Structure 1
Amino acid sequence: MDDADWRRLIDQLRSGDCTPFLGAGACYGTLPTGSELSRNWANIYKYPFPDDHDLARVMQYAAVQERDPVYLKRQICDHLRSRGLPDFNHADEPHALLAKFKLRVFLTTNYDNFLVEALRGEGKTANTAVCSWADRTPQETPELPEPSVDEPLVYHLHGNWAEPSSLVLTEDDYLEYLANVAAAQSSGNRTLIPIPVLHAMTTSSLLFMGYSLQDWTFRVLFHGLLRTIPDVNRRRHVSVQLVPPVNTPIAEAEERAKQYLAHYLGERLRILIFWGTAAQFCEELRLRLGPGS
């Protein structure tokens, strides 16, 4: 990102022409990472395979052992909720910083309510909704209140810990989620995504924070959304990314990986990259906003 990219992003945040899209990395320091959670549950359930860092696969194994996936999801929700809230008074806390802007829609694949709490701290009353990805009964598009600056919408695409059965957690969940979203997008009679959410996703600039855009489930979802947008209306988006891991000791391997992702995401998906953590991005953003931000 250069200075012009930052100016555009800041103007979009201030004017409300931006939709944040938050993933697990936005909760770093409060909630465990996916790999940490995965290894913890792999140890609990004596997971026998070498990929104990793969949360969906470990949870698939645990669900089979329990013979009750909703019970497992309740355990996960209880564990995550026990970790408490982020420090919203910290200047670089992602949820608190984003809550200060005049944004109407917030999207997340996280299970927590941190966005709602951060918005409440700014005197706003958030409406929340959860994607009904597991509902196989045909129905009309869910109707939601029109989002506003004072009453924004927080939309959970992968479930919310207040409704454990809504979580997209196991491999089976991810497969069904992707299949149902694809089916909904191709159907003229039904969609899983409410109109205000779809409008925010397809007309405003998106700010991805806490994701790895190498993750195939996220890329399938994003590519599906791109197909609904005419080329003339395509926006520039921003993604906060950690430097990708490399499997070679060659000194320039990391730089090559960064160049590849920057080219691929920039040319194919029109996504600019900020290399760093969510907290580092927020620190830079706050500095560029100037005193009083």
Structure 2
Amino acid sequence: MQIPNSLLKAIREQKVIPFIGAGLSSSIKDREGARIFPSWPELLNSSAERLVGEGKSDDANLVTSLVRKNKLVEAATNADQYLGRVQWLEFLKETFDRTCDHADPATLGLLYQVWTLGSNLVMTTNYDRSLQWACPDQADFRVWDIEAQAEQLSAIRNGRVSRPTVWHLHGQIDNVSNLVLTSSDYAGLYGNPGKTPSKYKAAIDSLKTLLKSHKFLFLGFSLKDEVFLRQVVAVNKTYKGAAAQHYAFLPPRDADSANLDDSGIQALHYDDHSDLPDLLSSLAVEALRSPPVNVPVSRYIVDKREGLYLFGGRGDAFFKLYDDALRAIDRQLDIFSLKLGRFRREHEGTLIQAATHAKIRIALLDPRFPLPDGQGNLASIREKEEKAQEGAIRRDVAEWVDLFARYRQKVAAGEITEGQENGLDIRLYNILPTVNLFAVDQSLFVGPYLLNVEDRDTPTFLLRSEAPGRTSMGDTMFNVYKRHFDAVWNDAETRDIADVSDNEVSAWKAGRSFGPVAS
């Protein structure tokens, strides 16, 4: 499938708003491989099963009959009526009120890619929180319910939003009584033509303005929602075809299902669902060619085929993947770093637990490592370069000595049985560190140490050695960095942390040097 040049140009100009449908949410799976969120028909058939459980088989049969005829809004209306409002809302809450912990992070890839398309505003008719889970800037993330008058007015006035924002046009699960599913819900939002106006005039006016000024890119959206489609058609007719051109990535099964006449939507049909990540990666490349105005360091680009993820900085998206990978350790974890203070504080329990079934190797800077000609030691130099508190590296390494002692106590007490394939080893290296490396099973995070650049602002790669049947770039780079780690680990000057003396630990905890250039 060829991506139109007009769409690529709009991406570069930051004039594209992703509009996400149920197809992307339904691609999310739990760690056992089961889908977390249902499709529309699955949701309504599940409501019919609940009706059967309430002894209302005839009502259930009517709902399933309407689903088979693809009359989904009518089916939802009947399910609401027959279950009763309280049970209907409870049913919806149980279905969509999921947290990120329910999801296998590996299945969030498409949603991560949505945030690489250059727009801080993402629109959706979904009710769940999955777009928030994938957002790279969790600290600045914002949610709009159906209507957020001040924010929507600002977006129209300025032509953009300044913070990553998801607009739940049909409501979101934290306000379950406000969800748009039934006939009366749709009438409340969109109004009845020639009869009653919308209860959410500001929201509908904002939608129509954005449809005129921006290009929408529909993803996971079958465009069978006739009520919503009427809004698109109305805007296009009002401006006699001069409104913005919109685009929809659709799978082959939807090739003839959507009536797009007069909508101004160009259907772009891909051959297979596995093509979608590459298509979004191509758009992300164009987004990176946008003028670099206030570009957040947490922007990132993904090429899953090559096993490459490039992060502009170590923001929330990076640490989410980092933490998820750590929790899922299967066989091996290798870390090459300066001190790992945050990591130790947050993950000691996870490390000790992982050591019961996986091999954990951690290489840290040796605080006694001297520089030539009496210039001091590397720990002190690095602290100055990072503008860290004097003695910070030494104190953190001393804490790792204590952690290792606690681990050895568990081994001695029989709580952990070490073997060839599991256990925790920590060594202190005597080389100039150039990269920070974190390799868990087939995923490897690596980034440079940079002068006067904070950790959060450091560009970082995630390399995945998982491309089946061929050698990917991620595969090749993964192996290069693993060889680097092994060379450090086996270097003659590298020593076991168990060999650190009590005097060294005491000095380091006080923030003092100990050894050839003690001060």
TM-score by length of 1: 0.73
* Partners of 2:228 and 2:274 in 1: CA distance: 22
* Partners of 2:205 and 2:120 in 1: CA distance: 13
Task: Supply the AA of the counterpart residue of 2:176.
Answer: P
> In the alignment, which residue of structure 1 is the partner of 2:247?
238
**3-state SS of 2:191 partner:** helix
* Partners of 1:42 and 1:14 in 2: CA distance: 46
> In the alignment, which residue of structure 1 is the partner of 2:226?
216
Assess, with a 3 A threshold, how the Cα gap between structure 1 residues 124 and 19 changes in structure 2: closer, same or farther: farther
Tell me whether 59-68 or 19-28 shows the greater mean CA deviation. 59-68
Query: Is the 1:109–1:157 Cα contact (8 Å) retained in structure 2?
Result: yes
- Residue 110 (structure 1) shift: 0.7
Residue in structure 2 matching 1:75, options 91, 111, 128: 91
- Residue 217 (structure 1) shift: 1.9
* Partners of 1:197 and 1:105 in 2: CA distance: 12
| 2:71 paired with 1:64 | no
Task: Supply the AA of the counterpart residue of 1:272.
Answer: Q
> Higher strand fraction: Structure 1 or Structure 2?
2
> In the alignment, which residue of structure 2 is the partner of 1:35?
41
CA displacement 1:144-183 (0-9 Å, x = unmatched) = 1745565133211111100011101223323443326885
Structure 2 residue runs without a partner (length 5+) = 29-36, 53-59, 286-302, 311-519
* Partners of 1:192 and 1:97 in 2: CA distance: 30
* Partners of 1:195 and 1:283 in 2: CA distance: 34
Tell me: higher relative CO, structure 1 or 2? Use CA pairs within 8 A at least 6 residues apart: 1
- Residue 42 (structure 1) shift: 1.0
| 2:271 paired with 1:273 | no
> In the alignment, which residue of structure 1 is the partner of 2:61?
48
> In the alignment, which residue of structure 1 is the partner of 2:123?
107
Once superposed, what is the RMSD of the aligned Cα atoms? 3.5
* Partners of 1:195 and 1:154 in 2: CA distance: 17
* Partners of 1:242 and 1:219 in 2: CA distance: 18
**3-state SS of 1:235 partner:** coil
- Residue 219 (structure 1) shift: 1.8
Query: Is the 1:105–1:197 Cα contact (8 Å) retained in structure 2?
Result: no
* Partners of 1:128 and 1:167 in 2: CA distance: 15
Assess, with a 3 A threshold, how the Cα gap between structure 1 residues 39 and 280 changes in structure 2: closer, same or farther: farther
* Partners of 2:23 and 2:253 in 1: CA distance: 14
- Residue 125 (structure 1) shift: 1.8
Task: Supply the AA of the counterpart residue of 1:127.
Answer: R
| 2:155 paired with 1:179 | no
Assess, with a 3 A threshold, how the Cα gap between structure 1 residues 214 and 65 changes in structure 2: closer, same or farther: closer
Task: Supply the AA of the counterpart residue of 2:265.
Answer: I
Assess, with a 3 A threshold, how the Cα gap between structure 1 residues 86 and 103 changes in structure 2: closer, same or farther: farther
> In the alignment, which residue of structure 1 is the partner of 2:279?
284
CA displacement 1:94-148 (0-9 Å, x = unmatched) = 32101123313211111112222322x345623222225xxxxxxxx82117455
Equivalent pairs counted in the alignment come to 261
- Residue 270 (structure 1) shift: 2.9
| 2:44 paired with 1:12 | no
* Partners of 1:228 and 1:104 in 2: CA distance: 27
> In the alignment, which residue of structure 1 is the partner of 2:163?
151
- Residue 93 (structure 1) shift: 2.6
Assess, with a 3 A threshold, how the Cα gap between structure 1 residues 180 and 131 changes in structure 2: closer, same or farther: farther
Assess, with a 3 A threshold, how the Cα gap between structure 1 residues 282 and 200 changes in structure 2: closer, same or farther: farther
Task: Supply the AA of the counterpart residue of 1:237.
Answer: H
Task: Supply the AA of the counterpart residue of 2:44.
Answer: S
CA displacement 1:13-58 (0-9 Å, x = unmatched) = 3432101111111212231111111111112213122234554333
> In the alignment, which residue of structure 1 is the partner of 2:481?
none
* Partners of 2:18 and 2:115 in 1: CA distance: 10
Question: Percent identity at matched positions?
Answer: 20
Query: Is the 1:22–1:208 Cα contact (8 Å) retained in structure 2?
Result: yes
- Residue 67 (structure 1) shift: 3.0
Assess, with a 3 A threshold, how the Cα gap between structure 1 residues 172 and 208 changes in structure 2: closer, same or farther: same
* Partners of 2:230 and 2:75 in 1: CA distance: 22
| 2:169 paired with 1:127 | no
> In the alignment, which residue of structure 1 is the partner of 2:211?
201
Residue in structure 1 matching 2:177, options 145, 165, 169: 165
* Partners of 1:172 and 1:196 in 2: CA distance: 21
Structure 1 residue runs without a partner (length 5+) = 133-140, 246-256
Assess, with a 3 A threshold, how the Cα gap between structure 1 residues 131 and 275 changes in structure 2: closer, same or farther: same
- Residue 269 (structure 1) shift: 2.6
* Partners of 1:103 and 1:168 in 2: CA distance: 25
> In the alignment, which residue of structure 1 is the partner of 2:23?
25
CA displacement 1:45-100 (0-9 Å, x = unmatched) = 131222345543333223223332x541232122222485655555x833210112
> Which entry has the higher C-alpha Rg, 1 or 2?
2
Query: Is the 2:22–2:221 Cα contact (8 Å) retained in structure 1?
Result: yes
* Partners of 1:155 and 1:40 in 2: CA distance: 27
